[in-house]
C-alpha cells in the first residue's frame, strides 16, 4: 500500500529550523505584498480575473476543438506535433526524438509538466545529460531536490545553503555567500554546457489555437538559450495550456507576473511560431490525468491554473512549512487540489495540510475555487476510507456525542478539569499536540447552558 | 424580535461569559431571546474533516432545535458559516433550508439587520487588536479581504467597535493573516498551527495591543493558548463582551 506523504512531519522539521522558516515566510510574504502593490496599479483587476476565468472555462469546455485547431496551425508552421496520454508516453516520445537526433546533452528550462512526468531521471538513465537553465532550478538539480515553488524553485534555501552547495559542486569558496559571486560561478559553469548542448527543452505557459504558436515566460531568458543555441527545440505542453486567440494572451500576460512576483511582466515573454531557420521544433501535447479531471464536476476548474504561484505566496501553511513539505510536484494550495488527482493514496493527507483560510481563492488570477476544492477533497478522502485511524475513530465518537444532548452535557460536565474534556470532545486527539506550544484554558465554574437554566429558566 | 440563540459547543463549555454577553446584548437591543436546551454543535468539526456521515445526526439535531425560529443568532462566524454554506450532510428539507437561511452571525445581525447605532452602556478604554477570522472575512464578508486591494475598504466589526468610547484599535502588519486555529488542523498540523499562532499573537503584541478581540472565540482559544504559554501581557476578548460591557 502506498505510504501517504507526511506533510505535517515534513513541515514540522522545516519549522524547527528557525533561520530557514523565518526567512522563507518573510520572502514569500514579500511576494504576496508585491502582488498587492502591482494589483493596486490595475484598477480593472477583478474584471480581468473574471475574463481570464471565462476564457479558460470556455477553452476547457471546447478543448477537443481547440487542440485540433492548434495541431493544424502548428503543423502548418512546420512544427512537429506529438500526443502523449500519460507521463510514460511523454517521456518515450521525447526520448525517441532525442535519440533519433543523436542528442547527448540538452539544456532544459523550467517546466512543471516535465517535472510531473519525471522526465529528467528518465533521460539521464538513458545516457542523456540534462542541465537546468533556470538558476533556482539548477540549484535544486545540483542538490537532488525537486523545486519547492512553481516560480522560485529554491526559495526555501538560504544564501549560505547555496554557498555550501556550490563549494561542493562548483568549487567556490564556501565562506563566500555573495549572490553576485555565486551567480557568476554558476554562469561560468553553465555557459559551456549551454553552448555545447545538442537540444533545448522548454515547457509553455500558453499555447494559442488560432496561431499554432506558444509562449514561454521566464525572468532569466533561460528558455531562449535552450531554444536558440541548439538546432532542436522540444516543448512539453499540458493540454490545459490552450487559449483560443492571440489577443487573449493580453489578459493572461498582464496577470501572470503581477500575481507571481508583483512585476508588471516577466523579463522575457518569448513567442515561438514554428522552427527557427535550419532548426526543428517539436511540441508534445500531454494529457496525464487532465482529461479525467476535466470530467470531474467538483475539480475541473483546477485546470484553469496558469502556474503563477500566487496561492503559494499567500498561503500561511505553505510559508511556514515550505513547498517541500507537500512531497509532490505541485505544492501549496494548488498542489493540495491537484496532487490527489494523480494519486489519492499517496496525497491523502494534503487536503488536511490547510487551515482553510481561503486566501488562495482570493488571489487566484483565474478564480479557481481552491479553498472549496480543498474542503471537497477532504470528503473524497473520507468517503474512500483513507482518513487516518485517529481521525476516523475520533470523528465517529465526536459525531455520536454531539448527536445526543445528554452525552454531550455529560462530557462537558463541570467540576472536573477542562484538561480532561478538551481532547475528548473538542480536540478529539491525544492531548499532547495542543499542549506542545500552547496552554489550555481553565475550566469555568459552569457551562453557559447551566447558567442559562439558573438565570433565565428558574430565576 | 424573536431570536433563537445558538451557542457553539466550545463557547458553552469554556467561555460561558461570551454566551452570557451575547444573550444580554440581544436582550438589551429588544430581542426576545430563547436558547433551545438540547443544542450541542452545528456539525462543523466532523464535516471539516470530510466526515459527512458522522456529521449528519448532529446537523439534524441542530435543525430540530432551531426549526421554530425565523432568526437564529450565534457569536461565531465559523459555526454560522458552516450552517449557512456547508450544512448538507442531511436531506435539505424545508425546515433545514429555513434554519440555514435564517442563521445569522452576531456581528452581521447587529450591523446589517438591527443596524445598531450605539452601545451607551459600554466603554472599553483599551488598545485593541482586531482579529477578523478567515471565515468572517472570506466566508461571511465581514470585511474587505486584504487580497481585494482595489475594492473599497470596510469592516463591520470595526464599525461596531468604533462606537465604543475609549476603545483604540491598533494597526498590525498582516491584518487578515490566518491565526492557524483551523479546527482539527490545530492538532493534526500542530507545528504549523502553533507557528502561525505565535506569528499572529506577536504581530498584535509588537503593535501594543492590550486585547485581541474577535467575533470568533475558537481563534481566540488558540491565541490565548499562545499568549499564556509566552506569558505575554495581553488578553483575548469576544466582541460581544465589549459591546455588552462585560462580563469579562
Instruction: For helices A45-61 and A63-76, give the axis angle rounded to 10 degrees.
Output: 90
Nearest to A441 among B139, B184, B221 (CB): B221
- Do residues A375 and A287 both lie within one domain? no
Average pLDDT over residues A259-281: 96
Give kind and range of the element (H or E) at residue A294. helix A290-294
Average pLDDT over residues A358-380: 98
pLDDT, position A443 = 82
Residue A402 belongs to domain spanning: 389-457
Nearest to A352 among B39, B150, B188 (CB): B188
- Do residues A5 and A98 both lie within one domain? no
Q: Which residue has the higher pLDDT, A33 or A412?
A: A33
- Do residues A375 and A447 both lie within one domain? no
Reply yes or no on whether the pLDDT at A119 is more than 90.
Answer: yes
Reply yes or no on whether the pLDDT at A243 is more than 70.
Answer: yes
Average pLDDT over residues A210-222: 97
Answer whether A276's CB lies under 8 Å from A228's CB. Answer: yes
- In CATH, what number does B127-244 get? 3.40.50
pLDDT, position A421 = 46
* CB–CB contact A39 B150 (8 Å): yes
Cα–Cα distances in angstroms (integers) from residue A13 to residues A181, A322, A324, B196, in the given order: 30, 10, 11, 15
Reply yes or no on whether the pLDDT at B59 is more than 50.
Answer: yes
* CB–CB contact B17 A418 (8 Å): no
- Do residues A47 and A85 both lie within one domain? yes
- Do residues A431 and A368 both lie within one domain? no
Residue A192 lies inside a defined structural domain of this protein: no
Taking CA atoms, what residue in A is nearest to B12? Answer: A448
pLDDT, position A360 = 98
A356 contacts on B by Cβ (under 8 Å): 48, 134, 182-183, 185
B184 contacts on A by Cβ (under 8 Å): 352, 391, 427-429
Residue A347 lies inside a defined structural domain of this protein: yes
* CB–CB contact A355 B180 (8 Å): yes
Q: Which residue has the higher pLDDT, A447 or A411?
A: A447
Three-state DSSP class for residue A131: strand
In chain A, what percentage of residues exceed pLDDT 70? Answer: 95
- Do residues A22 and A86 both lie within one domain? no
pLDDT, position A434 = 82
Residue A165 lies inside a defined structural domain of this protein: no
Average pLDDT over residues B212-235: 97
Could you give the CA distance from residue A224 to residue A218 in angstroms, rounded to a whole number?
9
B86 contacts on A by Cβ (under 8 Å): 375
* CB–CB contact A8 B181 (8 Å): no
- If pLDDT is split at 50, 70 and 90, which confidence band does B248 have? confident
Question: Which 8-state DSSP code applies to residue B34?
Answer: E
Answer whether B72's CB lies under 8 Å from B6's CB. Answer: yes
Instruction: Say yes or no: B224 contacts chain A, CB-CB below 8 A.
Output: yes
- Do residues A27 and A87 both lie within one domain? no
Residue A331 lies inside a defined structural domain of this protein: yes
Average pLDDT over residues B98-119: 98
- Do residues A62 and A75 both lie within one domain? yes
Which of B9, B41, B50 to mutate to test binding with chain A, by most A CBs within 10 Å of its CB? B50
- If pLDDT is split at 50, 70 and 90, which confidence band does A439 have? confident
Residue after which a domain boundary falls, among A385, A402, A436: A385
Answer whether A350's CB lies under 8 Å from B126's CB. Answer: no
* CB–CB contact B182 A357 (8 Å): yes
pLDDT, position A224 = 96
Instruction: Say yes or no: B55 contacts chain A, CB-CB below 8 A.
Output: yes
Average pLDDT over residues A176-195: 97
Q: How does DSSP assign A223-276, residue by residue?
A: HHHHHHSSSEEEEEEEGGGEES-GGGHHHHHHHHHHHHTS-SS-SEEEEE-SPP
- Do residues A280 and A344 both lie within one domain? no
Could you give the CA distance from residue A266 to residue A253 in angstroms, rounded to a whole number?
8
pLDDT, position A433 = 80
Number of domains, chain A: 3
Lowest pLDDT segment from A51-60, A290-299, A341-350, A427-436: A427-436
Could you give the CA distance from residue A25 to residue A32 in angstroms, rounded to a whole number?
11
Reply yes or no on whether the pLDDT at A284 is more than 80.
Answer: yes
pLDDT digits (tens, 9 = 90+) for B143-202: 999 999 999 999 999 999 999 999 999 999 999 999 999 999 999 999 999 999 999 999
Residue after which a domain boundary falls, among A385, A403, A433: A385
pLDDT digits (tens, 9 = 90+) for A415-436: 444 444 444 445 444 546 888 8
- Do residues A46 and A25 both lie within one domain? no
Residue A188 lies inside a defined structural domain of this protein: no
Cα–Cα distances in angstroms (integers) from residue B119 to residues A10, A157, B24, B243, in the given order: 49, 52, 12, 6
State whether ipTM is beyond 0.90. yes
Q: Which residue has the higher pLDDT, A420 or A144?
A: A144
pLDDT, position A441 = 85
- Do residues A243 and A365 both lie within one domain? no
Amino acid at each position: 500500500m502506498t505510504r501517504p506523504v507526511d506533510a505535517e512531519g515534513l513541515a514540522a522539521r522545516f519549522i524547527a529550523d528557525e533561520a530557514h522558516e523565518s526567512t522563507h515566510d518573510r520572502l514569500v510574504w514579500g511576494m504576496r505584498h508585491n502582488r498587492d502593490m502591482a494589483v493596486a496599479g490595475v484598477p480593472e483587476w477583478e474584471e480581468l480575473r473574471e475574463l481570464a476565468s471565462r476564457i479558460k472555462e470556455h477553452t476547457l469546455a471546447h478543448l477537443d476543438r481547440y487542440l485540433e485547431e492548434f495541431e493544424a496551425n502548428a503543423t502548418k508552421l512546420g512544427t512537429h506535433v506529438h500526443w502523449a496520454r500519460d507521463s510514460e508516453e511523454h517521456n518515450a516520445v521525447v526520448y525517441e526524438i532525442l535519440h533519433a537526433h543523436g542528442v547527448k546533452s540538452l539544456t532544459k528550462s523550467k517546466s512543471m509538466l516535465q517535472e510531473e512526468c519525471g522526465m529528467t531521471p528518465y533521460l539521464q538513465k538513458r545516457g542523456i545529460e540534462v542541465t537546468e537553465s533556470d538558476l533556482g532550478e539548477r540549484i535544486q538539480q545540483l542538490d537532488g531536490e525537486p523545486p519547492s515553488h512553481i516560480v522560485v524553485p529554491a526559495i526555501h534555501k538560504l544564501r549560505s545553503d547555496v554557498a555550501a552547495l556550490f563549494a561542493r559542486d562548483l568549487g567556490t569558496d564556501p565562506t563566500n555567500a555573495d549572490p553576485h559571486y555565486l551567480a557568476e560561478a554558476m554562469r561560468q559553469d553553465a555557459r559551456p554546457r549551454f553552448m555545447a548542448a545538442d537540444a533545448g527543452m522548454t515547457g509553455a505557459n500558453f499555447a494559442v489555437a488560432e496561431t499554432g504558436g506558444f509562449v514561454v515566460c521566464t525572468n532569466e531568458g533561460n528558455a531562449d538559450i535552450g531554444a536558440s543555441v541548439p538546432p532542436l527545440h522540444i516543448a512539453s505542453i499540458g493540454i490545459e495550456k490552450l487559449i483560443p486567440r492571440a489577443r487573449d494572451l493580453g489578459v493572461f500576460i498582464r496577470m501572470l507576473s503581477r500575481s507571481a512576483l508583483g512585476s508588471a511582466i516577466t523579463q522575457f515573454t518569448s513567442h515561438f511560431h514554428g522552427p527557427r531557420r535550419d532548426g526543428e521544433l517539436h511540441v508534445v501535447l500531454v494529457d496525464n490525468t487532465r482529461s479525467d479531471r476535466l470530467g470531474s464536476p467538483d475539480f475541473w476548474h483546477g485546470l484553469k491554473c496558469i502556474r503563477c504561484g500566487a496561492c503559494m505566496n499567500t498561503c500561511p501553511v505553505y510559508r511556514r512549512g515550505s513547498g517541500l513539505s507537500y512531497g509532490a510536484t505541485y505544492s501549496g494550495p494548488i498542489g493540495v487540489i491537484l496532487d490527489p488527482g494523480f494519486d489519492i493514496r499517496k496525497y491523502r493527507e494534503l487536503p488536511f495540510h490547510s487551515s482553510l483560510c481561503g486566501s488562495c481563492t482570493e488571489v487566484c488570477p483565474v478564480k479557481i475555487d481552491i479553498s472549496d476544492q480543498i474542503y471537497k477533497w477532504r470528503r473524497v478522502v473520507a468517503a474512500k476510507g483513507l482518513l487516518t485511524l485517529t481521525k476516523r475513530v475520533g470523528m465517529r465518537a465526536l459525531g455520536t456525542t454531539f448527536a445526543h444532548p445528554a452525552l454531550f452535557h455529560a462530557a462537558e460536565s463541570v467540576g472536573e478539569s477542562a484538561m480532561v474534556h478538551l481532547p475528548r470532545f473538542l480536540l478529539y486527539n491525544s492531548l499532547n499536540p495542543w499542549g506542545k506550544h500552547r496552554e489550555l484554558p481553565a475550566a469555568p465554574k459552569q457551562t453557559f447552558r447551566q447558567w442559562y437554566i439558573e438565570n433565565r429558566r428558574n430565576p | 424580535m424573536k431570536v433563537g440563540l445558538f451557542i457553539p459547543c466550545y463557547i458553552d463549555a469554556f467561555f460561558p461569559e461570551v454566551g452570557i454577553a451575547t444573550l444580554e446584548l440581544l436582550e438589551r437591543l429588544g430581542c426576545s431571546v430563547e436558547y433551545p436546551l438540547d443544542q450541542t454543535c452545528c456539525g462543523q468539526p466532523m464535516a471539516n474533516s470530510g466526515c459527512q456521515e458522522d456529521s449528519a445526526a448532529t446537523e439534524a439535531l441542530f435543525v430540530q432545535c432551531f426549526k421554530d425560529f425565523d432568526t437564529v443568532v450565534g457569536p461565531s462566524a465559523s459555526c454560522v458559516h458552516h450552517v449557512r454554506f456547508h450544512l448538507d450532510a442531511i436531506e435539505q428539507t424545508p425546515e433545514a433550508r429555513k434554519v440555514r437561511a435564517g442563521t445569522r452571525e452576531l456581528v452581521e445581525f447587529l450591523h446589517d439587520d438591527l443596524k445598531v447605532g450605539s452601545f451607551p452602556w459600554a466603554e472599553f478604554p483599551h488598545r485593541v487588536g482586531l482579529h477578523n477570522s478567515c471565515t468572517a472575512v472570506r466566508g461571511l464578508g465581514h470585511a474587505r479581504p486584504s487580497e481585494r486591494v482595489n475594492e473599497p475598504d470596510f469592516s463591520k466589526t470595526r464599525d461596531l467597535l468604533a462606537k465604543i468610547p475609549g476603545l483604540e484599535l491598533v494597526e498590525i502588519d498582516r491584518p487578515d493573516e490566518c491565526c492557524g486555529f483551523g479546527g482539527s488542523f490545530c492538532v493534526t498540523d500542530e507545528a504549523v498551527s502553533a507557528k502561525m499562532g505565535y506569528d499572529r499573537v506577536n504581530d498584535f503584541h509588537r503593535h501594543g495591543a492590550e486585547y485581541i478581540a474577535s467575533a470568533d472565540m475558537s481563534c481566540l482559544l488558540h491565541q490565548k493558548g499562545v499568549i499564556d504559554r509566552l506569558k505575554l501581557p495581553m488578553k483575548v476578548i469576544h466582541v460581544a463582551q465589549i459591546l455588552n460591557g462585560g462580563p469579562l
